[in-house]
Amino acid sequence: MSRFILLLSISLTYLKVCGDVIKLFGEEYSTDFDTKIELQSSTLTGTVPTTLGLLTRLVHFRVDFNQLSGSIPTQMGNLESIRSIRFDNNRLVGPIPSEFALFTDVYYIFLSNNHLSGTLPSELGLLVAMTELRLTGNQISGVIPSEYAGMLALQNLYFARNKLMGTFPSEIFLLHSLRQIDVEFNRLSGLIPSELAQVTKLNLLQLKGNRFSDELPDTISELTSMVTFTIDDNPGLAWIKETSFSAAVCEKITSCLRTKIVVTDCVCADPRPPTPSVTPTGTPSAPATMQRKKPLAYIPNVVRTSRAPYARAAGAGQRTNWIAFWPRIVVGLLFLGASIYVTLNRSSSTSAQVELEQESEEQSNLLEEAR
């Protein structure tokens, strides 16, 4: 007969507990009350026990920032009350269990920075309560399932630094709750879906280091909540044609992307008719539409993070910061005062010595006269 304890919450965070402490849970203990286990940053080693699935009332489970190895047991699918799971920053291997689809109440799963492999289980699209899914820094391959559009509450999706390929499912951009999407440094290809304009609350879109091709969709200008947008290191992206972006659209992009925008090899066209300018020799120059267009990174209020920003000319429009010179001025005054003091002392000592010599000479003269 197994023992029974009233386990409501246990936290050993930052206590540097070593060994297979995690095996204490589930093997002989169960509870009829909601349970929370927090063992993050505790130097845990070993594997995740299959008996963990016996804690059917486990609600929150954190073992991030440890040294756990092995695979994630499929028995965790029995955690019918689980709401949050954090296995990030460990050494876990193997696939993501499709049994995670049984977590009907889970709202975030963090599995980042492990060695997980295999493909993304399409069954995860059944997690209608999921708000955040983090799988960054693994070795997951295959395509992003379009079934993930079933995560109706999804806000943040982090799949960066994996081996994902294929196109990005346009159905995911129909989730109006999305806030952040990060799929940097994968092998995604094809067109960037124009449906991204449907995600009006999107404030972060990181597509850097993939194989997207063709052109940026015009609908990017409708992302009025965007703060960070990265798309460089996509060799297949062509230069944007004049009909793609007008100057008004470019101005809107730079105003909505308030913090930074990283767009390389892209141009914005001026919708005004070209006016030929006259060169010093009197011959009209080529129209503006025939000249080489400046990349989007040259537009004011736009910051490039992929390369160093173009510096202004030295001294142009810059004010002298006198506060920075105050320490030097004080030190200079101290040296000047010290030199004046030394000079005065030397002059005073010299004059006193002259007076003494004159007095001694007068005394010697008086002695000679007296004789």
**CA–CA gap between residue 184 and residue 210 (Å, rounded):** 7
Predicted confidence (pLDDT) per residue in 326-362, tens digit: 777 887 888 888 888 888 777 776 766 777 777 777 7
Residue of 259 and 322 predicted with greater confidence: 322
Q: If you average pLDDT over every residue of the chain, what do you get?
A: 74
Q: Say yes or no to pLDDT of 75 above 80.
A: yes
**Phi-psi category of 16—alpha, beta or left, where left has phi over 0 and alpha has psi -120 to 50?**
left
- Residue type, position 147, single letter: E
**CA–CA gap between residue 132 and residue 179 (Å, rounded):** 10
Report, as an integer, the average pLDDT of 100-115. Answer: 96
pLDDT at 329: 82
CB 160 within 8 A of CB 186: yes
pLDDT at 298: 33
Q: Say yes or no to pLDDT of 102 above 70.
A: yes
Calculate ∠ Cα 167-97-116, nearest 5°. Answer: 65
**How remote is the C-alpha of 169 from its chain's centroid?**
24
**CA–CA gap between residue 191 and residue 196 (Å, rounded):** 12
Predicted confidence (pLDDT) per residue in 143-181, tens digit: 999 999 999 999 999 999 999 999 999 999 999 999 999
H helix or E strand, kind and range, residue 84: strand 84-86
Question: What is each CA distance from 321 to 260, 325, 326, 330, in whole angstroms?
Answer: 27, 7, 10, 16
Taking Cα atoms as reference points, which of 3, 52, 4, 8 lies closest to residue 33? 8
Half-sphere exposure of 202 (CA within 13 A, CB side): 25
pLDDT at 46: 94
**How remote is the C-alpha of 370 from its chain's centroid?**
101
Taking the model in full, what pTM does it have? 0.63
Report, as an integer, the average pLDDT of 198-218. Answer: 86
Half-sphere exposure of 176 (CA within 13 A, CB side): 0
Residue of 256 and 326 predicted with greater confidence: 326
Q: pLDDT-based confidence at 10, cuts 50/70/90?
A: very low
Q: Say yes or no to pLDDT of 27 above 50.
A: no
Between 17-31, 303-317, 346-360, the lowest mean confidence (pLDDT) is in 303-317
CB 307 within 8 A of CB 280: no
Q: Say yes or no to pLDDT of 113 above 80.
A: yes
Structure tokens at 67: 């040294």
Residues of the chain above pLDDT 70, percent? 65
Q: pLDDT-based confidence at 284, cuts 50/70/90?
A: very low
Q: pLDDT-based confidence at 275, cuts 50/70/90?
A: very low
Asked whether the CA dihedral 43, 48, 51, 54 is positive or negative, the reply is positive
pLDDT at 336: 85
**Phi-psi category of 73—alpha, beta or left, where left has phi over 0 and alpha has psi -120 to 50?**
beta
Rounded to the nearest 5 percent, the helix, strand and coil shares of the chain are 30, 20, 55
**CA–CA gap between residue 95 and residue 265 (Å, rounded):** 38
Between 25-34, 83-92, 160-169, 343-352, the lowest mean confidence (pLDDT) is in 25-34
**Phi-psi category of 257—alpha, beta or left, where left has phi over 0 and alpha has psi -120 to 50?**
beta
